[in-house]
Amino acid sequence: KEIIIATKNPGKAREFKSVFAGEDFKLKTLLDFPDFPEIRETGSTFQENATLKAHAVMERFNLPTIADDSGLQVDALYGQPGVRSARYAGDHDDAANNAKLLSELGGVPKDKRTARFVSTLVFANPKNEHDLVVEGEVKGLIGTLPQGDDGFGYDPLFYLPELDKTMAQITVDQKNQISHRGNALKKLEKQWQDWINW
Ligand code: ITT
Could you report the per-residue pLDDT of 22-66, keeping only the tens digit for each? 999 999 999 999 999 999 999 999 999 999 999 999 999 999 999
pLDDT digits (tens, 9 = 90+) for 133-155: 999 999 999 999 999 999 999 99
Query: What is the ipTM metric for this complex?
Result: 0.99
Binding site annotation covers 136?
no
CA of 181 to the centre of ligand 1 (A): 10
The rounded distance, in Å, linking the Cα atoms of 174 and 172 is: 6
Strand partners, 159: 141, 166
Which sequence positions are flagged as catalytic? 69
Binding site annotation covers 153?
yes
Query: Quick one: DSSP state of residue 34?
Result: T
Q: Which atom of ligand 1 is nearest to the CA of 8?
A: 3
Measured by CA distance, the residue closest to atom 7 of ligand 1 is 86
Where does 20-171 have alpha helices with state H? Answer: 46-61, 94-104
Nearest-10 Cα torsion for 57, 37, 70, 76: -160
Strand partners, 3: 27
Confidence at residue 44, expressed as pLDDT on a 0 to 100 scale: 97
CA of 70 to the centre of ligand 1 (A): 5
> Mean pLDDT for the chain?
97
The rounded distance, in Å, linking the Cα atoms of 70 and 83 is: 7
Q: Which atom of ligand 1 is nearest to the CA of 50?
A: 11
Q: How confident is the model at residue 131 (pLDDT cuts 50, 70, 90)?
A: very high
In the chain the domains, ranked by start, together with CATH numbers, are: 2-195 (3.90.950.10)
